[in-house]
Structure 1
Amino acid sequence: MPRTSVKDQVLADLVAKFTEPSVDEEEKDKQNMDEKSVGMVSLQEPASWRVYVDGAANQRGSGVGLVIVSPEMIVLEKSLRLSFSAINNEVEYEALLIGMTMVQKMRGKAVKMFLDLRLVVGQVEEELEARDSRMQEYLNQVRHLQSKFESYTLVQIPRSRNTYADSLATLATSLVQSLPRVILVEDLCKPIEMKGDIVRVHQVRAGLSWMDSIVLFLKEDVLPEEKSEADKVRRKAPWFWLSKDLKLYKRSFSGPYLLYIHPKAMELLLEELHEGIYGSHTGCRSLSHSALTQGYWWPSMQKEAQEYVKKCDQHQRFAPNIHQLGGVLNPLSSPWPFAQ
C-alpha cells in the first residue's frame, strides 16, 4: 500500500521530541528550575496556627478551654478556671485573648482562630457594634494583639464542631473522672489588664457651655464678673444640684432629679433613643419625652429632637401619611346648596 504524504511540520515535531538534549541545555534547565523553586518558596505565606477556643459559665463558675494546633500538627490542650465573676460574653473574650497570647509567646506569625459565639465574631469583624464599656475594652485589646500578627483570621464555627474546646472549658468548672490523658488546669486570678491608652468608643470632648458658670457657683461660690450674668446665675442656681462627682442635676418638685446632658453628648443620646437597639424611630415629641423618662434633661430638648427627627431617613420615609387637605375648607351656610 503506498504511503500518504506527510507534512513537514509533523516531521519537525517528531525529530524535536525524540532528540536527546545536550549537556549545556540540561544545566540551563536545572538552573531555571532552581530559580523557580526559590521564587515559589519565597512567595509562600508563613505557617498558620489553628486555635479552637470556647468558654463556659454556669453556677459552679467560669472556665476557658483551648485547643492549639501547630503547623507541625502538634496538638496542645489548655484548660483554665476563672477565679473572678464573668458573664458568658466576657468568658469568650478571655478565651480569645488567651489563645492569641499563647500563639504570640510561641512566636507564631499567622493564626486562625475558631469560635462558636456569633456576638464576639461579629464585634471583632465590625459587623456588630460593642455598646457595653466592658466589651469595648475587650475589643480594643483584641485589636491590639491582632496588629502583632502578619496574618489573622477569626472564623465562626457551629457548636458541634467546637466540642473539643467546649469539653475543656466545662472541665474547668466541674469534676470529670477517668480522663484519657493528663490535662493541667490552672487558676486565672484576675482578668487580663487593659492598656491605659485605649480610646473609648463615642468619646466626647466636652467644651464650654452655659452650665459651667452654674457649676462653678455651686462648687466654689464664684460668680461671673459681669453683674447681669451674675444675677442670672444666682437666680438659676436654686433649680440645680451638684453631686459629689460634679454632675449637674435639675431639681423637680414631684419627679426625680434629671441629669444635665452636655451639648456635645446630646446627639449621641438622641441617636441611641431613636435608632438604638430598641429604637422605634418615633417623632420629636415622643423622642424628647423618652429622654425625660430616662432621666436626662437639657434646655432645648424639643427643638433638638425635632431637628434630629428631620434628618432621620427611615422616619421620614416610613412616617404615616397625612391625609388632611392642604387648603382651608369653605363650609356652605345653606343646608340645600342649590336652593333658591
Structure 2
Amino acid sequence: MELPTLTTPRAGEPLTLYLSAPDIAVGAVLLTDRKTVQTPIYYVSRTFADAETRYSMLEKLVLALVYAAWRLKRYFQGHPIQVLTDYKLKSVSAKQELLGRLAKWEIELGKHSTEYKARPSIKGQVLADFVTEVPAEKVQECLYEQQPPVLSKENKKWILFTDGASSGEGSGSGLRLINPDGQEFTYAIKLNFKSTNNEAEYEAFLVGLRIAKKLGVKFLEARVYSMLIAGQVSGAYDAKNDIMASYLSQAKDLIQQFISCKVVHIRLSENRPTDALSKLAFTSFEHLGKDVRIEVLDSSSVPQHQVMVIQTGTVSWMTPIVKYLSSGILLEDKILARKIRHKALCYQVQDGLLFRKSFLGPLLRCVDTEDANYVIREIHEGICGLHVGPRMVVAKIMNVGYYWPVMHMDAVKEIKKCESCQRHEPHMLKPQNKLIPVTSAWPFQKWAIDIMGPFPEAPGWVKFLLVAIDYFTKWVEAKPLEKITAENIKKFLWESIICRFGLPQTLVSDNRTQFADKGLQELLSELHIS
C-alpha cells in the first residue's frame, strides 16, 4: 500500500481547496496540481460543537472554509486559493442581508484572494474522503437554500413567515405573507408595550393570521421560528403560563377560521428576512425593493394579568374597639356594648392604628390574627429566633411592642407546628395517659408472678428466677430454678405461697406457656384462684 506524501508549495503557486461537511465534523484538504497529479499539502478537520450541529448545510460548508482559512493562514496569505465546490458559496457570502455569524465569516474571508469554481472529477486515491462534499440526504436542502422553489399557482396556498424579538432597546415583530403567485407582502410591527420574546413571537403570529383572514386566504402554511408556538399549537407543549394560554386560545380560534392552516417550525437560516423585519428599528434591510408596511400595536392582543380585588380592612377583634374610640359607635347588643366600653379604657387610637396601654411601658401596637401568626413565627424561628417556649415568646413579643388578646394560646398553637422543636425537644418522662391503679383489699389477696432470666449459671446449674409479689404488702417470694416447667411452677405456688400465706384470690401473670399449662390451670380452678 502506498501512503500519500505531503509536499511543499512553491512561492506564488495557485493552490486548490476541497471541502467536506458530513454530519459530525468539517474537513478540508489543500493541494497543488503538478503534472496533472493532485498532491496534498495539508489536511485539517474538527468535530462540531453542539450548536454547530444545527447549522444548515451551506453554513457548515462556509464554516469548513473559515476554519481552513484560520488553520492555513500562511498559505491563504501567500497563494491564490481556488475553492472547488458544487454549491454557490460565493452567492451566499455576497448577500447584503447577512446577519450574525455569516457576516462575521464574510469579513474573515474577505481578507484573502479566494476564487470559487465548480468541482471537477477528483484525481487520486488520497482524496477519497472528499469525494462527497455533503451527505446525499442533505443535497436537496442545499439546493433549496441556494434557490427556494417558487410556489405553484395550482395549490392556492399562501405562506406566512413570522418572527419576533424583544430587547432592552424595544420589542418588535415581523411577518412576510407570500401568495401563490410569489407576490410578497412585508410587515414590520412595533410593540409599544413591554413584552417578552415569546409574547413578541405570538403577536407576529396573531397579526399574520388576522391579515391573511382579511385578504380572504383559505389555505395557509405558517412557518414560525418559535418552537414554542409550533409545539403549543400542535399540542406537543403545554401552555402553563396564563399569558401563553391566552395567546394559544386566540391562535386556535383564528386557525379554525381557515379551511387549512398548517404551522411549521423552521430554522433561523430560513427566516432571515423576517428576523431582520423584527429588528427593523436598529438593523438595515436593504435587499427589499418595495415599501415595508409598518404598524404600531399600542396594547397586547391578550389582556394582562387579571387582578383579583381583595377587600381591605377586614373585620377583626380590633374593629369594634376602633369604631367606638374613633366614632363612638357601639354594637346593638347591650351586653357586648358594655364589654367593649370597659375594654376601650385600656386602648387608644393614633393615626388610625390601635394601641394597648401598658403599665410603666410604651404603647403596644395591636395586630390582627394574620399579623400575629407572622410575629410569633419571626420571634420563635426567625433570623434571631431561639426556639424558646410560649411564655418566653410572649414576653419577647411584648418587649418588641406588639399585643393581641390571646397571645399565649396562639403562641402555643404555632410552636406546636415547629418541626425543629418537635425533633429536638427534651424527652418527657410524664406518661401520655393517666395511670390506672391496681388495688388489693387485704394482704396476700392478689399476687403477681413472672419468670426472669436466663442469667449466668449459678451453683446447682440454676439460671432462671421465679418471682411472686404481693400487691398489698409488696412482699417478694423468689426461687431459683434450673428449668422452667409447669411442675416447678405448681410446686412453687404450693410451697412458697399457699402453704405460707394461704389461698390467694387472684394470680396475675403474662400467660406464658408455663402459666397456661393445662395441669396448672386445673389446680387453680380447683382452688378457686382466678
TM bracket, shorter-chain basis: 0.3 to 0.5
- Specify the structure having the higher radius of gyration (Cα): 2
* Structure possessing the higher relative contact order (Cα contacts under 8 Å, 6 or more residues apart): 1
Instruction: Choose between structure 1 and 2: higher strand proportion.
Output: 2
* Structure number with higher helix proportion: 1
Normalised to the residue count of structure 2, the TM-score between the two structures is 0.31
